[in-house]
Structure 1
Amino acid sequence: MLRPDIGLPRFSGGPLVPVVTYLLVIVVLSGLVTISPGASPPPVLGMIWGVFLVALTVGTLRIETVSPRSLLPSVRTLGPVIGLVTVFWGLYNLAAVALAMGGISGFEASLSRTAAHPLLYLAALFSSLLFTAIPEEFLFRTYLQQKFTRLAGETTRRTVLSGIGVAAVLFALFHLPRWFLASGHGVSSGLAVRLLGLALMGLAYGSVYALSGNLWLVALFHASMNHPPFLVKVTVPSELHLVVSVLEYTIMVTLVYLTVRVVEPVETPHIWSQGNNHASTGD
């Protein structure tokens, strides 16, 4: 089974808890970026950041009297998760190879670095999964998205969508310290495009989580999007980045939706059900 049998937690804290948590994240992130303003932070700093996010989220959940363990899907779901993400990238690679063979600009019929050095790729993917994707998705989707869904009222499609939207906006703004402090960019049209792309990414990941309720799934999508496993060389022109991203996210969410609705048919998936009053208490 892909989707764990859990519902939306009944958090006991008020609206200030997620606000303070998010502001603390921004402050600490800004400090780390100031210390290491390079394009890619040192591995040790990245590990510290990932551990900090997990520890902060666990602490916040305990303040909310929600057991962090109750929000983690079973390891038995890892098989279906890996299978679904593999299908997504398999289809993507088939399309990329076809475009490369057709001579389409941006797609080369030659092996990518991933195909040439698979072990190095797997190491980078695992590192991204462990210290970036899981910590960030644990905070933004498992906690913030569900918290704002709960704050919006009883669990309906409207409140779930509001939770996805708020978490997506916060996820986009979360990247501002690196934009201003590390990259040295200012306020421009490029910033608007960047924020829009990140917001779309947040909406896609939020939808995947809302449909599946599976942290491993959304985190693996996140990590693999950071390190796309293309078998051929792919270079998307900058003016097409947003268009390609919309296509990627649409296919990703559609694939998860079909899996949940068709392969694992139930009356209502995870937190889309109305009136779900599941409560998780602390250990």
Structure 2
Amino acid sequence: MLRPDIGLPRFSGGPLVPVVTYLLVIVILSGLVTISPSASPPPVLGMIWGVFIVALTVGTLRIETVSPRSLLPPVRTLAPVIGVVIVFWGLYNLVAVALATGGISGFEASLSRTAAHPLLYLAALFSSLLFTAIPEEFLFRTYLQQKFTRLAGGTTHRAVLSGVGLAAVLFALFHLPRWFLASGHGVSSGLAVRLLGLTVMGLAYGSVYALSGNLWLVALFHASMNHPPFLVKVTVPSELHLVVSVLENTVMVALVYLTVRLSGDDSSPLTRSRREMSASTGE
């Protein structure tokens, strides 16, 4: 099954614990970006960052008297996780190939770097998964999102949406040090578009986690979004980045929702609260 039987943890700490944790992350990240402001930081620095995020989250969970191991999905869920992600990118590539064949601007009917160098792609994907996606999703979804959901009232529809939304906003703001310190950008309309796009991404990842409760699934989506496995060359115009982001993230969430429903596993907070709300209104 895709969704592990984990449930919402009963955190024992107060609202200041996630606030201090998040501020500490921003301070350390700002320091690392200042040390290495390049667009592609050294691999060693990326590894250190990933280990730090995991260590900080584990320490925070222990303060909350929650066992970090209890929040990790069983290994047996990896098969359906990989299956869902393969289906998503399979559909994405079908559309991309069709658009490339049709001569649509931004899509070329020639092999991408992923298809030409699959081993290099898999190495980059694994590195992103291990040192970026899993650590960040462990912090933002497994801890912060669930903590905010618990503070907002537990597994009610409103509480789940509050947790997803607040974690998504913090996820977007989390990228500001690199925007200002590494990229050298300032406050502009570009910043607003960037934050909106990251918020949409955070909402999608949060919804996937709320529906599946599976860290491996949301982390693999995160890593593969950082390194899209396109078979043909795809270059999306900058003015369409936000539109494409909304479309692909909507399809991602819809696919996970359908998978959860078709598998008969309606125990996720989002599906359960939606079912309870429908029952209360007589639908």
Paired letter, 2:97: V
The one of the two structures with greater contact order (alpha-carbon pairs below 8 A, sep at least 6) is: 1
User: Against the structure 1 CA distance between its residues 222 and 136, is the aligned structure 2 distance closer, same or farther, given a 3 Å change threshold?
Assistant: same
| 1:4-15 correspondence to structure 2 within 5 Å | 4-15=4-15
Any conservation in 2 of the 1:10–1:150 contact (CA below 8 Å)? yes
Is 1:32 matched with 2:32?
Answer: yes
User: Secondary structure of the residue that 2:191 maps to in structure 1?
Assistant: helix
Any conservation in 1 of the 2:8–2:154 contact (CA below 8 Å)? no
| 1:74-89 correspondence to structure 2 within 5 Å | 74-89=74-89
Distance in 2 between the 1:107 and 1:163 partners? 37
TM-superposed CA distance for 1:269, in Å, is 2.1
Paired letter, 1:151: L
TM-superposed CA distance for 1:233, in Å, is 0.2
Aligned length: 273
Paired letter, 1:227: H
Identify unmatched segments of 5+ residues in structure 2: 274-283
The equivalent residue for 1:266 is 265
Any conservation in 1 of the 2:111–2:231 contact (CA below 8 Å)? yes
Distance in 2 between the 1:255 and 1:267 partners? 15
RMSD: 0.9
User: Secondary structure of the residue that 2:109 maps to in structure 1?
Assistant: strand
Distance in 1 between the 2:154 and 2:59 partners? 25
The equivalent residue for 1:167 is 167
TM-score by length of 1: 0.95
Paired letter, 2:10: R
Any conservation in 2 of the 1:160–1:272 contact (CA below 8 Å)? no
TM-superposed CA distance for 1:142, in Å, is 0.1
User: Secondary structure of the residue that 1:184 maps to in structure 2?
Assistant: coil
The equivalent residue for 2:232 is 232
User: Secondary structure of the residue that 2:89 maps to in structure 1?
Assistant: helix
Distance in 1 between the 2:163 and 2:32 partners? 28
| Percentage identity across paired residues of the two chains | 89
The equivalent residue for 1:116 is 116
Q: Deviations over 1:44-82 (max 9, x none)?
A: 000000000000000000000000000000011001000
Identify unmatched segments of 5+ residues in structure 1: 275-283
Paired letter, 2:267: T
TM-superposed CA distance for 1:143, in Å, is 0.1
TM-superposed CA distance for 1:268, in Å, is 3.3
TM-score by length of 2: 0.95
User: Against the structure 1 CA distance between its residues 55 and 271, is the aligned structure 2 distance closer, same or farther, given a 3 Å change threshold?
Assistant: farther
Paired letter, 2:133: A
| 1:90-239 correspondence to structure 2 within 5 Å | 90-239=90-239
The equivalent residue for 1:257 is 257
The equivalent residue for 2:23 is 23
TM-superposed CA distance for 1:155, in Å, is 1.6
Distance in 2 between the 1:127 and 1:267 partners? 33
